[in-house]
């Protein structure tokens, strides 16, 4: 789950879709259990926000029922307006019926009051109210609410049908309003030898960012025989890849060490889609996000020349042998390049020509950085 931007505002993950699903099932079961045998309820959803809730609720409801919708808008922007508009959509005779209102969220209770008023003179057998979410701190009415899915704090939420100025309804999880992110977080991307490390050194000074190179962190931890280093080495000695979980935890620890950072340059991470998802989720919890993936694009022939050159002085065993280098490219092309699609799908991929002088490339990158 990542940060959501709708219009001018940011929303962070708040309630996972699995939790919503469990709540909806529980509500459907409770409502069914309280109904007299043989009673066919009429479920009325209050549009627009309820459409996903109703769709899931009625499928979880085991028994005969009728379903209808009414429209009654009451919100503008992120604060409840006092004026509740009129109800559209109920034409049938409701005399003697058990009507169960399905609401996505009850906030001040203005809408609920309107519902009670409208149904008062319809000669119902009974009227019950089900709401998926309820904000107890702002509720200002005495009116009964028969079933509450989840009490939430008084913060604006979106997703699962709920909107902010018409956007966000199609998110399957609930997100909560959060301040505009403060950090600039960049994933520096590119095949081995593309110049990521070199460029990161310049960029971290220019933008006051913390540079985290997972390769360097691994090598440091192994050299200093830290707990993490020993764990990582155990896998490496067996010829296994260090599992994502170990890498992710190491990275989280590095981020948490730098609480007052302006942002981070991630270099060598994420390497797989699941690492990218974990990084997104980790930052989103903090109300932060990846601003962009900046990728240095260099042809393989140039890279091999560069790496062999570096191998003469770097002391890195993986830089001296062309076969090993080719193997790393293969690894990069088959696994890591998938990340290009991942960030591209979020409109966050920026490809940069990585051939030229160091200064020219820094300049190209900083033109992108300035827009992020």
- So which residues are the catalytic ones? 196, 271, 310, 316, 328
Collapse the DSSP code of 89 into the 3-class scheme (helix H, G, I; strand E, B; otherwise coil) and give the result: coil
**Binding status of residue 108 toward ligand IMP by CB under 6 A:** yes
The owner of tokens 């050299």 is 223
Residue 342 and residue 186: Cα distance in Å, rounded?
14
E strands within the chain? 4-6, 9-15, 42-47, 66-71, 75-76, 79-80, 98-106, 126-134, 147-151, 157-158, 174-178, 186-189, 210-213, 264-267, 292-297, 349-353
Q: Which of 56, 107, 267, 319 binds ligand IMP (CB under 6 A)?
A: 107
Residue 372 and residue 290: Cα distance in Å, rounded?
10
Contact code string over 48-77 relative to ligand IMP, x by CB under 6 A: -x------------------------xx--
Query: Does residue 66 contact residue 182 with C-beta atoms inside 8 Å?
Result: no
Tell me which stretch binds ligand IMP (CB under 6 A): 12-20, 98-106, 180-188, 249-257. 98-106
Kindly state the tokens that stand for 45.
Answer: 């959803």
**Binding status of residue 320 toward ligand IMP by CB under 6 A:** no
**Binding status of residue 149 toward ligand IMP by CB under 6 A:** no
Rounded to a whole number of angstroms, the minimum distance from the CB of residue 173 to Mg ion is 18
**Binding status of residue 161 toward Mg ion by CB under 5 A:** no
Collapse the DSSP code of 74 into the 3-class scheme (helix H, G, I; strand E, B; otherwise coil) and give the result: coil
The owner of tokens 């966050």 is 348
Total site size for ligand IMP, rule CB under 6 A = 17
Strands 98-106, 126-134: pairing kind: parallel
**Binding status of residue 157 toward ligand IMP by CB under 6 A:** yes
Kindly state the tokens that stand for 254.
Answer: 């590095």
Residue placing its CB nearer to ligand IMP in the complex, 85 or 120:
85
The owner of tokens 């069914």 is 32
Q: Which of 13, 41, 45, 49 binds Mg ion (CB under 5 A)?
A: 49
Q: Which of 2, 21, 80, 249 binds ligand IMP (CB under 6 A)?
A: 80
**Binding status of residue 6 toward ligand IMP by CB under 6 A:** no
The owner of tokens 């192994």 is 222
Contact code string over 241-280 relative to ligand IMP, x by CB under 6 A: ----------------------------------------
Rounded to a whole number of angstroms, the minimum distance from the CB of residue 75 to ligand IMP is 4
Rounded to a whole number of angstroms, the minimum distance from the CB of residue 12 to ligand IMP is 14
Binding site for ligand IMP (CB under 6 A): 49, 74-75, 80, 104-112, 156-158, 162
């Amino acid at each position: 789950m990542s940060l959501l931007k709708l219009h001018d505002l940011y929303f962070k993950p708040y309630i996972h879709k699995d939790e919503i699903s469990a709540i909806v099932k529980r509500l459907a079961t409770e409502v069914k259990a309280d109904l007299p045998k043989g009673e066919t309820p009429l479920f009325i959803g209050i549009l627009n926000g309820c459409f996903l809730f109703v769709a899931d609720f009625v499928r979880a409801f085991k028994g005969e029922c009728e379903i209808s919708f009414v429209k009654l808008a009451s919100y503008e922007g992120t604060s409840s307006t006092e004026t509740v508009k009129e109800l559209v959509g109920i034409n049938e005779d409701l005399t003697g019926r058990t009507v169960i209102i399905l609401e996505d969220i009850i906030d001040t209770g203005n809408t609920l009051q309107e519902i009670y008023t409208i149904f008062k003179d319809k000669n119902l057998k009974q009227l019950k109210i089900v709401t998926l979410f309820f904000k107890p701190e702002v509720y200002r009415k005495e009116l009964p609410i028969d079933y509450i899915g989840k009490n939430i704090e008084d913060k604006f939420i979106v997703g699962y049908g709920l909107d902010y100025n018409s956007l966000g309804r199609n998110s399957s999880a609930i997100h909560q309003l959060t301040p505009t992110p403060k950090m600039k977080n960049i994933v520096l991307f590119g095949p081995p030898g593309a110049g990521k490390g070199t460029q990161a050194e310049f960029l971290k000074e220019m933008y006051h960012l913390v540079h985290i190179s997972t390769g360097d962190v691994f090598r440091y931890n192994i050299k200093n025989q830290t707990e993490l280093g020993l764990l990582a080495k155990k896998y490496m000695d067996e010829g296994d890849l260090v599992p994502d979980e170990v890498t992710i935890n190491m990275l989280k620890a590095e981020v948490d060490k730098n609480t007052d950072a302006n942002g981070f340059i991630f270099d060598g991470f994420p390497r797989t889609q699941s690492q990218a998802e974990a990084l997104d989720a980790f930052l989103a919890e903090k109300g932060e996000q990846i601003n962009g993936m900046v990728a240095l694009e260099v042809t393989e022939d140039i890279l091999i020349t560069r790496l062999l050159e570096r191998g003469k002085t770097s002391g890195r065993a993986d830089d001296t042998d062309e076969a090993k280098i080719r193997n790393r490219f293969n690894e990069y092309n088959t696994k890591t390049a998938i990340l290009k699609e991942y960030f591209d799908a979020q409109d966050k991929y920026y490809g940069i020509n990585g051939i030229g002088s160091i200064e020219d490339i820094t300049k190209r990158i900083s033109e992108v950085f300035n827009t992020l």
